[in-house]
Chain A
Amino acid sequence: MASPAPANSLRSGPDENGHFGIFGGRYVAETLMPLILDVDAAYKAAKLDPEFQREFEYYQKHYIGRPSPLYFAERLTDHFGGAKIYFKRDELNHTGAHKINNVMGQALLARRMGKTKVIAETGAGQHGVATATACALFGMECEVFMGAEDVQRQKPNVDRMRLLGAKVHPVTSGSSTLKDAMNEALRYWVSKPDTHFYIIGTVAGPHPYPAMVRDFQSVIGIETKAQMMEAEGRLPDTLVAAIGGGSNAMGLFHPFLDDTDVALIGVEAGGYGIETDKHAASLTGGRPGVLHGNRTYLLQDEDGQITEAHSISAGLDYPGIGPEHSWLHELGRVEYVAVTDDEALESFALCTRKEGIIPALEPSHALAHVGKIAGGLPKDHLIVMNLCGRGDKDVDAVIPKLEAKGLL
């Protein structure tokens, strides 16, 4: 994990109660509070325990397959004709996305706490698959809450979870998507406080989750730093990552927050366009509010009711975002932009044909933004894009759309 942050560092947050500026915190029902405090205490102790670190690093290397390569995407670099584009290949991790980085950390913590049962929420299913995988490995029971709508559109991942021995609960309350899956997982957790550990999949939720998930994911940025020094002898100029809840972006960005010469760009899901109300861009199109245990930017109406997000990517289809992103947005340290469904789809096709890599729809959003800026940048400008997941899960959904657009 990251080295200790110096004073006045942007890497020193959150405070004791989990606040990043006004964002973050612990806005949960009293029923949940003792559970959250237990997790906090256990994580604090684990962080200081060399044995926990050793175990975590062991599984990162031998089970996940870290470090993931930093790959020079030469054909796409030529295609855009400007900045030099590198991919951080987190889609090569075991289970096919960055999600497993965090899951191994939390599963080890759960085991340390003596918990034998694990629950998780999932949108696209990548976090659910990663959690089911870790549970199979450690012999834990696993229950995954997934919006009924997502169960339909991410069937291959549902099957993978079942094969791994997890029980998938389709969630039909509310709008039947990721936010409702998180509601249900939290509801379930309060009824099983003694036996269950809740593995949250992104840098959101009540403290300590946003900080803990970030810490487990920051291996992405730490490796990127070292690998870029080796490849180019210097730090990159720009980092680009897709954002739903924001865990892959936070993992890449966090080790670079104090390197102020490095530009950081988070790419939200613009759906049909920010001007429509059909998008999932909480920072670009939302405002601060309180949901799922933290204060952060949310998609909501005037009365504070949470509105439904829309994205072609189930993994980005969430009306909130991690609180640290909200803080970095207001500080201006990270630039947040949005990319539409159509732009992401075109980048999906482009990456597949030019690099022989089928990216998930989530990083396809990041690539679409890279495509917008790379051409205008000098050839010695170094961009790293987090290729945070592979696209096998999206194939069924994408093919008819690409055919309709004449891209296949």
Chain B
Amino acid sequence: MKAGVGRIDAKFAALKDEGRAGLGVFITAGDPDARTSAAILKGLPGAGADMVEFGMPFTDPMADGPAIQEASQRALKAGMTLKGTLALVRGFRQDDKTTPIILMGYYNPIYAYGVDAFISDALDAGADGLIVVDLPPEEDDELCIPALKRGLGFIRLATPTTDDKRLPKVLTNTAGFVYYVSIAGITGTASASSDMITGAVERLKRHTDLPVCVGFGIKTPDQAADVARVADGAIVGTAVVNAIKDSLDGDGSATDSTVSDTLAFVKTLADGVRGARA
């Protein structure tokens, strides 16, 4: 079975065969605690997620809005670490060999862990790609190049502010897919119009053969469906994290319904994505 960037490529090939776009779901590792997070993660493919963006908690998530920052804070408070995050990936990979896991976060915890050790341990645990928000192409030598050499995908964010002149630089050394950030801003705020998204995806497709996924600002099944009509994947983060948050008790701890409520919401998104081109 293919691992690393190969697993991402295989997934998008399979989706292409099915004639539909994929649903990427973001959750923060360890939110609200390791056990609940493991159960949500395990249930995501069954609820219709085609790919998981697994957030590595960080105290200072510069590109994220309050919802995802608070998810990080809940996870850290409950004791989540980078090592713990990789352990959750390993647990998931025991039963699921086809759903790509993209580790998403910020560079400092990885730098503290040690780049080489992190790449080895991430691959060994069964992670397939990385999105490290604060490593632009200008800093590719840090992690991107070493990761790609070892077969761990490095997925780059392209944004509305990435003009045609800069785009080739952003797309170089990108593997797996391209993540289009549909708004100029942080996660969980505004939503782009479908016309803008369509135009942006078309622009990206002129520059790359890689699949293009769209995220930031997708909150509802309808919005996910709109994106799924024009892109290769729709990624939903804040709305899922909010579903987790809404299920917690007053102290921010998991309840009996945390896993089921979250997965039920993911199912509505998946139905939206799957019905989009029907």
Contacts and interface: CB of A to CB of B under 8 A. Distances in A.
Contact of B59 (A25, A186, A305): A305
Contacts of B113: 303-304
Contacts of A190: 63, 161, 184-186
Contacts of B190: 191
A21 interface: no
B96 interface: no
Interface string A23-53: 0011111110111010000000000000000
A25 B166 contact: no
Nearest to B135: A27
Contacts of B76: 305
B60 A35 contact: no
B109 A304 contact: yes
Contact of B62 (A26, A187, A191, A305): A187
A372 B162 CA distance: 53
Interface stretch (A85-93, A214-222, A287-295): A287-295
Question: For B60, B66, B110, B181, which residue has the most chain A Cβ atoms within 10 angstroms?
Answer: B60
Interface in A172-193: 173-174, 179-180, 183, 186-187, 190-193
Interface in B48-65: 57-63, 65
A366 B162 CA distance: 44
Contacts of A34: 161-163, 166
Interface in B101-147: 106-113, 133-136, 138-139
Nearest to A36: B136
B247 interface: no
A298 interface: yes
B82 interface: yes
Contacts of A33: 136, 138, 161-162, 166
Contacts of A192: 184
B130 to A, nearest CB: 14
Interface in A305-319: 305-306
Given A174-B59, A290-B111, A30 B136 contact: yes
Given A25-B139, A293-B134, A306-B108, A30 B158 contact: yes
B69 interface: yes
Contacts of B220: none
Contact of A191 (B57, B134, B185): B185
Interface string A57-68: 000000000000
Q: State which size class the interface on A falls in.
A: 35 or more
B-side binding surface: helix, strand, loop or mixed?
loop
B248 to A, nearest CB: 18
A306 B60 contact: yes
Contact of B82 (A26, A30, A304): A304
Question: For B62, B83, B106, B181, which residue has the most chain A Cβ atoms within 10 angstroms?
Answer: B62
Interface in B174-214: 181, 183-186, 189-190
Interface in A200-215: none
A306 B60 CA distance: 7
A26 B108 contact: no
A289 to B, nearest CB: 5
Given A17-B138, A290-B107, A305-B58, A187 B186 contact: yes
Contact of B108 (A25, A173, A179, A304): A304
Given A17-B138, A300-B112, A31 B82 contact: no
A302 B112 contact: yes
B81 interface: yes
A292 to B, nearest CB: 7
Contacts of A26: 136, 138-139
B108 A291 contact: yes
B98 interface: no
Contacts of A303: 81-83, 109, 112-113
A27 B63 contact: no
A31 B69 contact: no
Contacts of A291: 60, 108
B245 interface: no
A165 to B, nearest CB: 26
A191 B170 contact: no
B166 A29 contact: no
A2 B217 CA distance: 46
The 5 closest A-B pairs by CB, nearest first: A304-B112, A304-B109, A191-B185, A29-B63, A34-B161
14 contacts: A25-B138, A29-B134, A30-B157, A174-B60, A174-B69, A180-B60, A183-B62, A190-B63, A191-B183, A290-B107, A298-B108, A304-B112, A305-B59, A305-B109
Interface of A: 17, 25-31, 33-35, 37, 173-174, 179-180, 183, 186-187, 190-193, 288-293, 298, 300, 302-306
Interface of B: 57-63, 65-66, 69, 73, 76, 81-83, 106-113, 133-136, 138-139, 156-159, 161-163, 166, 170, 181, 183-186, 189-190
Given A173-B69, A192-B184, 9 more contacts: A30-B136, A33-B162, A183-B60, A191-B185, A288-B111, A300-B108, A303-B83, A304-B58, A304-B110
